[in-house]
Amino acid sequence: MKFDTPATTNPIDRMKVVGQPIDRIDGRLKTTGQAPYAYEQNDAVRDPAYGYVIGAAIAKGRITGMDLRAARAAPGVLAIVTAENAGPLGKGDMNTARLLGGPEVDHYHQAIAVVVAETFEQARDAAQRVRVDYAPAGGAFDLAAARDTAKEVDQSASSVGDFEGAFAAAAVQLDATYTTPDQSHAMMEPHASIAAWQGDRLVVWTSNQMINWSAGDLAKTLKLPKEKVRLISPFIGGGFGGKLFLRSDAVMAALGSRAAKRPVKVALQRPLMMNNTTHRPATIQRIRIGAAPDGRIGAIAHESWSGDLPGGGPETAVDQTRLLYAGANRLTQLRLAVLDLPEGNAMRAPGEAPGLMALEIAMDEMAEKLGMDPVQFRIVNDTQVDPNDPDRPFSQRQLVKCLQLGAERFGWDQRNPRPGQSRQGRWLTGMGMASAFRNNLVMKSAARLRLDSRGEVTVETDMTDIGTGSYTIIAQTAAEMMGVPIDKVTVRLGDSSFPVSAGSGGQWGANSSTAGVYAACMKLREAVARKLGFNSADAVFAEGQVRSGNRGATLAEAAGPDGIVVEDILEYGDLSKRFQQSTFGAHFVEVAVDAATGEARVRRMLAVCAAGRILNPKTARSQVIGAMTMGVGAALMEELALDKRRGFFVNHDLAGYEVPVHADIPHQEVIFLDEADPISSPMKAKGVGELGLCGVGAAIANAIHNATGVRVRDYPITLDKYLDRLPEAV
Amino acid sequence: MSKVSFSVNGEVRDLELDTRTTLLDALREHLHLTGTKKGCDHGQCGACTVIVDGRRINACLSLAVMHEGDAITTVEGLGSPENLHPMQAAFIKHDGFQCGYCTPGQICSSVAVLEEIKAGIPSHVTADLTAASQVTPEEIRERMSGNICRCGAYSNILDAITEVAERQA
């Protein structure tokens, strides 16, 4: 099915199942420990051996020798795979650095060997006995030091009007620089895989967001035809972008299994995760805004510097600034430095998350300079068209309504606009807000449906559920379309033998994957109608039956003893080009800062989101509160601490890399505006999982400024950065 | 190798294990009770929380052979998909999880936390050590802070635990 004209009325609009706050259909499995994750395939894999990964102890240089003798002689050892004996390997299209290093080392903790043994304890012990000699080489590790070497990223420059002239002439100006640190996805389930060879075919149970990408990249890495590789990923213990790509666990398991001639399971040890896998790269961002005294922006510029390994990409931190606010004169630019750090790549809301952390502080600073309320300043600068191309409208844009409703519900009128003036006992209190913005991407997605002789529906697609609720919303979609109760729908996901879906990334998964199921359902409805001799246009599917005029049959009767199987894909035309599709929101936060110690506590949080049709308000709300929680981490604590001499992230575990815990998070409120966007897909839905993160960090930063009067432009906002500037404690 | 015998979810299990085997790996790799999760293997995340003789512990920080004669309860022992424990049902109702990987640990912790409060065991945020402990949001958040949820379901988990506590009261 091709989606190239805006959606009209369709069966989803009934909203009997879709749009309802239905409990997750996989909830009983997950809460009782019965959901099998990648490393837990005891029913499918008998007698696996265990792999333990060795990571490089230098950031850059060369391995001059590996002494494997003691390890090979250790009890239980079955095989040790290194670059020397792995055979020729390719590199996946989505990988920047090789997943098995040696003799050249590209980054710290790059995998350089996997030790396979009968037991986990034996593999771990033998791995400690491997002696590696290195010839370290110098490298570039510090973004600030490498800033001047950064190159302009092709096609990243965008210029409208005369920014420099308009900025120079503006009555009120801001020119400020902000920094965001390297961050880690730190999902709870480590990257894990079990590999089993069946002749020349390879089956890998893994934890991965994008089955089709990773099946292709595993085949490419191992120099196999793609059809020889099968990936299975039924449950994924969090990803946040860290499991978008093939990673070393899958490659090490496959190589270890080939060498040991046994199924091999590998879970990347937690202390390897931060340097072995990808991370969100640090940024330096310069923002200039020029406005008239009435608050109208006449000039806005956003430039961002980030670093990555040779061949890598930039953190696209300026993208939202092209679209979020009006202004006749505009400039955005990305610059990329070569750094010899672990690979930088996508983490939840890549680009917009760090970009809005900077932009939305800048907007707060500008409002303060103008003497305007920060909410009003944003409203004044709303635009209903793409500021770069005024003929191109937004498909839907309810930013102003998000801002107004949020201000009203949060009690924004109680905020003292003069910072550092509100005190409750030992606590300095303040409120902050920020706009939320994230583009709505659509991806083609396919699904297979089977209607069986009991009138039950099975959906198969290689879509993944990384906690997003894919199982549930796909079941809701099929139930709505086919007119059956949700318990008559079975959803099977995450298997590369199923039709290729959109996968989970870029907040496109929910809308795109259910749209693919919609397309397959339309085909199944036609097949059912045809079999019954009904006109599919006027056939009504409800309560397990299909009716046309005064004729009717049950779905079970229509399916017959052999059932009906269909498959379809939803592909997109140029609506994304003709309309700017984005999601919008507003974040409001209240903080309290200890006047003596500087300890910052988040007291209240509210998000208002305009993100198209909400397919399941319960799971969508969870996406948003989870993102708000990650935003608290970004604002107050998350930072991969860099050793600038040796080029690695020092705090590479869950004790050193601090993420929010229960005690950090207050009650969180989420409001979804009633919206349906017929431009986005037949589902009229958009994404929310990343929108919920966008702007949170800045809202907290702005609240801390309102509480203390101190402006911190370098994340995370830890108390060492403002303690000496707090108002005098009485 | 060493022999050890303990009960898991009411069933006596006799194992012969490498003495380096953690309780966590004994459960997951030897008994195939994979509900208990390995998130960090270093006592930093709480995903492996189980209840041993009524007290919650991180199973990764404890060797299996140290548990001779102990009574161990895992998430599988609290309830099953067909017969949920009230805490499991409350987590589903309040959507107190997303990816589900920290969830068994959160649930085991939650069940044990309510027992700790009942038993009058104080926490860092207990203001009055001589008064009976109360089930307050602050107490629950403090006591649950050893269980990381990167999906960020904390606000919903608090609602789930609070509902179970109120029903027990």
Contact A306, A373 (CB under 8 A): no
Let me know if A690 is a catalytic residue.
yes
Which residues in chain B have Cβ-Cβ distances shorter than 8 Å to A666?
Answer: 155
- In A514-533, the residues whose Cβ lies within 8 Å of chain B are none
At A268 the three-state DSSP class reads coil
At B107 the three-state DSSP class reads helix
Closest of A6, A16, A29 to residue A476, by C-alpha:
A16
Average pLDDT over residues A413-424: 96
Which residues in chain B have Cβ-Cβ distances shorter than 8 Å to A120?
Answer: 25, 29
> Do A462 and A419 fall into the same domain?
no
Distance of CA A674 to the CA centre of its chain: 24
DSSP secondary structure letter of residue A728: P
> Do A456 and A411 fall into the same domain?
no
Range of the domain at A413: 373-378+386-440+581-725
Cα(first)–Cα(last) distance of chain A, in Å?
A: 68
State pLDDT tens for residues A140-156.
Answer: 999 999 999 999 998 88
| A655·B76 Cβ contact <8 A | no
- The rounded distance, in Å, linking the Cα atoms of A106 and A343 is 9
The CATH number of the domain holding residue A496 is 3.30.365.10
> Do B156 and B91 fall into the same domain?
yes
Name A436's bridge partners.
Answer: A585
Distance from the Cα of A665 to chain B's closest Cα (Å) equals 7
Q: Would you state the structure tokens that stand for residue B101, as one six-digit string?
A: 């990987």
pLDDT of residue B132: 87
- The rounded distance, in Å, linking the Cα atoms of A330 and A289 is 9
Closest of A492, A481, A487 to residue A570, by C-alpha:
A481
Cis bond leading into A716, ω under 30°?
yes
| A622·B41 Cβ contact <8 A | no
> Do A447 and A434 fall into the same domain?
no
pLDDT of residue B10: 98
The tokens 């009261």 sit on which residue? Answer: B169
Which residues in chain B have Cβ-Cβ distances shorter than 8 Å to A663?
Answer: 141-142, 145
What are the start-end ranges of the E strands in A414-549?
Answer: 423-424, 427-439, 445-451, 457-460, 489-492, 540-542, 545-548
> Do B55 and B106 fall into the same domain?
no
| Chain B residue with Cα closest to A29 | B81
State pLDDT tens for residues A169-217.
Answer: 999 999 999 999 999 999 999 999 999 999 999 999 999 999 999 999 9
Q: Is residue A730 very low, low, confident or very high in pLDDT (cuts 50, 70, 90)? A: low
Q: Would you state the structure tokens that stand for residue A37, as one six-digit string?
A: 């994750």
Q: Is residue A309 very low, low, confident or very high in pLDDT (cuts 50, 70, 90)? A: very high
Strands of the B11-17 sheet, one edge to the other = B11-17, B2-8, B71-73, B49-52, B55-58
- The rounded distance, in Å, linking the Cα atoms of A455 and A458 is 10
> Do B91 and B163 fall into the same domain?
yes
| A665·B141 Cβ contact <8 A | yes
Which residues in chain A have Cβ-Cβ distances shorter than 8 Å to B38?
Answer: 39, 190, 267
**Helix pair A352-370, A696-708: axis angle to 10 deg:** 30
> Do B45 and B92 fall into the same domain?
no
DSSP secondary structure letter of residue B22: B
Distance of CA A326 to the CA centre of its chain: 27
Q: Looking at this protein, which amino acid is placed at residue A142?
A: D
- In B82-141, the residues whose Cβ lies within 8 Å of chain A are 84, 88-89, 91-93, 95, 97-104, 107, 137, 140-141
At A478 the three-state DSSP class reads helix
- The rounded distance, in Å, linking the Cα atoms of B86 and A626 is 24
List the single residue in A26, A626, A662 with the smallest CB-CB distance to B144: A662
> Do B67 and B123 fall into the same domain?
no
| A188·B153 Cβ contact <8 A | no
| Chain A residue with Cα closest to B152 | A626
Give the β-pairing of A564-572 and A2-3.
Answer: parallel
State pLDDT tens for residues A471-490.
Answer: 999 999 999 999 999 999 99
CA distance to A210, A222, A307, per residue, from A506 (Å): 11, 28, 21
Strands of the A668-672 sheet, one edge to the other = A423-424, A427-439, A582-594, A600-610, A668-672
> Do B74 and B90 fall into the same domain?
no
| B98·A27 Cβ contact <8 A | no
H-assigned helices in A539-673:
555-559, 575-578, 617-636
- The rounded distance, in Å, linking the Cα atoms of A596 and A592 is 12
Where chain B has pLDDT below 70, the residues are none
- Does residue A29 belong to the interface with chain B, where contact is any CB pair within 8 Å? yes
> Do A451 and A543 fall into the same domain?
yes
Which residues in chain A have Cβ-Cβ distances shorter than 8 Å to B83?
Answer: none
pLDDT of residue A295: 98
Give the β-pairing of B2-8 and B71-73.
Answer: parallel
Contact B107, B88 (CB under 8 A): yes
> Do A501 and A566 fall into the same domain?
yes
- CB-CB neighbours of B69 under 10 Å: 10
- Considering A557, A573, A589, which residue would you say is the last residue of a domain? A573
- Considering A573, A605, A635, which residue would you say is the last residue of a domain? A573
> Do A556 and A592 fall into the same domain?
no
What are the start-end ranges of the E strands in A561-599?
Answer: 564-572, 582-594
Which residues in chain A have Cβ-Cβ distances shorter than 8 Å to B31?
Answer: none
Q: Would you state the structure tokens that stand for residue B165, as one six-digit string?
A: 């506590």
In a 13 Å sphere around the CA of A335, the CA atoms on its Cβ side amount to: 17
Checking if the pLDDT of A635 tops 90, the result is yes
SS3 content of chain A, % helix, strand, coil (to 5): 30, 30, 45
> Do B28 and B56 fall into the same domain?
yes
- In A590-619, the residues whose Cβ lies within 8 Å of chain B are 618-619
- Considering B30, B47, B78, which residue would you say is the last residue of a domain? B78
State pLDDT tens for residues A222-263.
Answer: 999 999 999 999 999 999 999 999 999 999 999 999 999 999
Burial B158-167 (b: 16+ CB within 10 A, else e): bbbbbbbbee
CA distance to A352, A397, B45, B70, B139, per residue, from A658 (Å): 22, 36, 11, 33, 21
pLDDT of residue B64: 98
> Do A421 and A516 fall into the same domain?
no
Q: Give the A:B interface size as CB pairs under 8 Å.
A: 194
Cα(first)–Cα(last) distance of chain B, in Å?
A: 47
- Cβ burial, residue B150 (10 Å; 0-12/13-18/19+): buried
> Do A607 and A495 fall into the same domain?
no
Checking if the pLDDT of A164 tops 80, the result is yes
Average pLDDT over residues A402-411: 98
List the single residue in B29, B88, B107 with the smallest CB-CB distance to A120: B29
Give the β-pairing of A642-643 and A648-649.
Answer: antiparallel
- The rounded distance, in Å, linking the Cα atoms of A95 and A111 is 14
* In-domain check, residue A256: no
Closest of A328, A90, A386 to residue A217, by C-alpha:
A90
What are the start-end ranges of the E strands in A309-383?
Answer: 329-338
Checking if the pLDDT of A47 tops 70, the result is yes
At A84 the three-state DSSP class reads coil
- The rounded distance, in Å, linking the Cα atoms of A54 and A108 is 11
Q: Which residues contact A215 (CB under 8 A, 6 or more apart)?
A: A226, A229, A230, A231, A496
Domain count, chain A: 2
- Considering B62, B78, B94, which residue would you say is the last residue of a domain? B78
| A187·B150 Cβ contact <8 A | yes
Q: Which residues contact A592 (CB under 8 A, 6 or more apart)?
A: A424, A427, A428, A429, A600, A601, A603, A707
> Do A436 and A449 fall into the same domain?
no
> Do B164 and B95 fall into the same domain?
yes
Range of the domain at B95: 86-168
Closest of A299, A336, A323, A287 to residue A179, by C-alpha:
A287
State pLDDT tens for residues A589-634.
Answer: 999 999 999 999 999 999 999 999 999 999 999 999 999 999 999 9
List the single residue in B21, B42, B153 with the smallest CB-CB distance to A653: B42
> Do A643 and A657 fall into the same domain?
yes
> Do A610 and A524 fall into the same domain?
no
What are the start-end ranges of the E strands in A379-492?
Answer: 385-386, 389-393, 423-424, 427-439, 445-451, 457-460, 489-492
Q: What does pLDDT average to over chain A? A: 97
Strands of the A489-492 sheet, one edge to the other = A2-3, A564-572, A445-451, A457-460, A489-492
* In-domain check, residue A649: yes
- The rounded distance, in Å, linking the Cα atoms of A682 and A571 is 11
The CATH number of the domain holding residue B110 is 1.10.150.120
Q: Would you state the structure tokens that stand for residue A351, as one six-digit string?
A: 């680009």
Testing the interface with A: which of B41, B58, B154 to mutate, by most A Cβ within 10 A?
Answer: B154
- Considering A545, A573, A601, which residue would you say is the last residue of a domain? A573
Active-site hit among A360, A590, A690, A728: A690
| B84·A31 Cβ contact <8 A | yes
| Chain A residue with Cα closest to B19 | A121
* In-domain check, residue A158: no
- The rounded distance, in Å, linking the Cα atoms of A401 and A551 is 47
* In-domain check, residue A299: no
* In-domain check, residue A31: yes
Distance from the Cα of B131 to chain A's closest Cα (Å) equals 22
Burial A255-267 (b: 16+ CB within 10 A, else e): bbbbbbebbbbbb
Domain count, chain B: 2
Q: Would you state the structure tokens that stand for residue A329, as one six-digit string?
A: 């004169």
pLDDT of residue B133: 85
Provide the phi-psi class of A672: left if phi over 0, else alpha when psi is between -120 and 50, else beta. Answer: beta
pLDDT of residue A201: 98
Which residues in chain B have Cβ-Cβ distances shorter than 8 Å to A669?
Answer: none
| A237·B101 Cβ contact <8 A | yes
List the single residue in A188, A467, A619 with the smallest CB-CB distance to B39: A188
List the single residue in B29, B93, B150 with the smallest CB-CB distance to A186: B150
Closest of B123, B109, B128, B16 to residue B65, by C-alpha:
B16
Closest of A605, A609, A600 to residue A588, by C-alpha:
A605
> Do A448 and A525 fall into the same domain?
yes
> Do B9 and B44 fall into the same domain?
yes
- Cβ burial, residue A719 (10 Å; 0-12/13-18/19+): middle
Our CA angle for A481, A487, A490, nearest 5°, is 75
Testing the interface with A: which of B98, B148, B159 to mutate, by most A Cβ within 10 A?
Answer: B98
- Considering B34, B50, B78, which residue would you say is the last residue of a domain? B78
Contact A98, A25 (CB under 8 A): no
Please provide the size of chain A in residues: 730
pLDDT above 90 coverage of chain A, percent: 98
Q: Would you state the structure tokens that stand for residue B135, as one six-digit string?
A: 């089930």
Which residues in chain B have Cβ-Cβ distances shorter than 8 Å to A668?
Answer: 155
Q: Would you state the structure tokens that stand for residue A9, as one six-digit string?
A: 């009325």
pLDDT of residue A399: 98
- The rounded distance, in Å, linking the Cα atoms of B143 and B125 is 9
Checking if the pLDDT of A729 tops 80, the result is no
* In-domain check, residue A650: yes
